[in-house]
Amino acid sequence: MSPLRIGRRGSGLAPRQPGWVRHRLRDAHPSLVVEQVIIETHGDKVPDQHFGPAWPEGAFVGALEQALLEQRIDVAVHSYKDLPTAPTGGLEIAAIPLREAPHDVLLTRVAERLEDLPAGARIGTNSPRRAAQIRRLRAVEIGPIRGNVPTRIAKLEREGLDGVILAAAGLNRLGIAYPRRIDLSPERFVPAPAQGALAVQVRAGSEASVLMAAIDDPPTRRAVTAERSLLREIGAGCHAPVGALATVRADGVS
């Protein structure tokens, strides 16, 4: 069997996510040979561009999808929340593995609790959803901030911010234990649809599609499908200021 080529972005969490998928695939298919191929995306090329009208849909995933369609790779691993809600023709999500923690966290320079943030504290985030929700909870100022997780943590100290808001999943996957971490309850601070979930994308009907079934987690698939259905129904994109978190129960999804 030819090596299975997994495409990944060249920055941020990109090495960890495909690496996790590769290990799970090797557990399920011990004889499988897996290679990683780095694909540079728009989001990697312009690390200082902030989300806004000029930000292209699929900026973190478009180049990977094109590489799949051109058969330069066999599998693409995405943070599911970065995928546009409209499916790409010729491609399918063959697996949605077990989800990491979906909630957000606030890392701070001094405060140990959300209530300890001083009035007018400067909080770094480039997400309209996170900005709106933290302002609802505390009287703070927002400082736009982009970059991978270590870069944003460095900016917390270097740029005099009082805190930065990040996804718990990213910190957990990178093994970062920051000393002043405030976990934000999803009930008060609703995460982005599909946050914490990975999407393993392949060409529709390909041999790789069959292999991916071994790492699919049905409860995670049901939850994130419901969350992204909300985005699709209201006509919002993957970076819209919308929060959703579904709970899977025996009698359905809520």
Of the two residues 87 and 9, the one the predictor is more confident about is 87
**pLDDT by residue (tens digit) across 33-42?**
999 898 887 5
The pair phi, psi for residue 131, each rounded to 5°, is: -60, -45
In this model, does residue 196 exceed pLDDT 70? yes
What pLDDT, on the 0 to 100 scale, is given for residue 55? Answer: 43
**pLDDT by residue (tens digit) across 85-107?**
889 999 999 999 999 999 999 99
In this model, does residue 56 exceed pLDDT 50? no
**pLDDT by residue (tens digit) across 132-177?**
999 999 999 999 898 888 989 999 989 889 999 999 999 999 899 9
Q: Average pLDDT for residues 238-251, to the nearest whole number?
A: 86
**Measured between alpha carbons, how far is 243 from 245 in angstroms, rounded to an integer?**
7
What pLDDT, on the 0 to 100 scale, is given for residue 152? Answer: 92
What pLDDT, on the 0 to 100 scale, is given for residue 235? Answer: 79
Comparing CA positions, the residue from 176, 182, 192, 179 lying closest to residue 230 is: 192
Q: Average pLDDT for residues 180-197, to the nearest whole number?
A: 96
Q: What is the set of active-site residues? A: 82
Element (H, E) at 95: strand 91-95
Global confidence as pTM: 0.88
What pLDDT, on the 0 to 100 scale, is given for residue 12? Answer: 56
In this model, does residue 49 exceed pLDDT 70? no
Per cent of the chain over pLDDT 70 is: 89
Within 8 A by CB and 6+ apart from 130, the residues are 104, 165
What pLDDT, on the 0 to 100 scale, is given for residue 127? Answer: 92
In this model, does residue 109 exceed pLDDT 90? yes
What pLDDT, on the 0 to 100 scale, is given for residue 48? Answer: 53
What is the residue whose two structure tokens read 């011990």? 30
In this model, does residue 11 exceed pLDDT 90? no
In this model, does residue 21 exceed pLDDT 60? yes
Q: What is the DSSP letter of 74?
A: S
Comparing CA positions, the residue from 120, 102, 121 lying closest to residue 111 is: 121
In this model, does residue 125 exceed pLDDT 60? yes
pLDDT band of residue 8 (cuts 50, 70, 90) is: confident
Element (H, E) at 26: helix 16-28
Per the prediction, the chain carries an average pLDDT of 88
Of the two residues 3 and 2, the one the predictor is more confident about is 3
pLDDT band of residue 18 (cuts 50, 70, 90) is: confident
